[in-house]
């Protein structure tokens, strides 16, 4: 599960045994024209207190606040790795950024070079190239809500092209049958192991 501190504290049972990836960057909403104005907003100590298995941070390569997100991400790497906590970089694209292989490969490679343990990025044409240049675990973002068959095809394509997994949100919880959908995505992931 990847979620925010508030959702973890108020909606997830304390005895939940699923690994939690805690989102630690924030500072914007979808209402802002430029979504890249994010900073580190949850401490590593809080992540430890909340028993997070990993922490997640969005970086915005090519956006107005690129420098800020990369510096904040680097600070997180230093803090989390001091405690042995893996860091997941979300290569965010904002409202106007494209999702071609050049952009997502660059953003993913920068995250890996800064020390990310896992990259969450968007599936694109030539995705296997991106996986080959990152040298760390890559998972794909589910993105906007699409028909279930299309979401499963996306997951299949990404895993066939080298993604280690799929991090889908709305394509699962907004599905007509979320339990069946998550089981289907999981089966796709296991086929390629």
Q: Which residues are catalytic?
A: 120
Task: Tell me how far CA of residue 116 lies from CA of 1, 7, 56, 130, in angstroms.
Answer: 18, 24, 10, 15
| DSSP 8-class letter at 126 | T
d(CA 116, CA 131): 14
**173 half-sphere exposure, CB direction, 13 A CA radius:** 6
d(CA 179, CA 117): 28
| DSSP 8-class letter at 146 | -
Bridge partners, 40 (sequence order): 25
* Number of Cβ atoms within 10 Å of the Cβ of 4: 17
d(CA 167, CA 154): 12
């Amino acid at each position: 599960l990847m979620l925010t501190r508030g959702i973890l504290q108020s909606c997830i049972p304390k005895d939940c045994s699923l690994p939690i990836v805690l989102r630690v960057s924030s500072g914007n909403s979808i209402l802002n024209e430029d979504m890249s104005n994010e900073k580190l907003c949850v401490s590593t100590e809080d992540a430890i207190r909340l028993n997070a298995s990993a922490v997640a941070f969005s970086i915005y390569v090519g956006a107005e606040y690129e420098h800020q997100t990369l510096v904040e991400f680097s600070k997180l790497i230093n803090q989390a790795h001091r405690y042995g906590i893996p860091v997941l970089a979300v290569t965010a694209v904002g409202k106007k950024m494209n999702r071609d292989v050049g952009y997502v490969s660059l953003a993913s490679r920068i995250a890996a070079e800064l020390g990310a343990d896992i990259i969450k990025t968007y599936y694109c044409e030539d995705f296997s190239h991106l996986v080959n240049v990152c040298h760390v675990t890559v998972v794909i973002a589910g993105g906007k809500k699409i028909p279930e068959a299309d979401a499963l095809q996306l997951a299949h394509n990404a895993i066939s092209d080298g993604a280690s997994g799929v991090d889908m949100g709305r394509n699962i919880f907004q599905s007509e049958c979320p339990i069946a959908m998550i089981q289907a995505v999981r089966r796709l992931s296991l086929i390629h192991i």
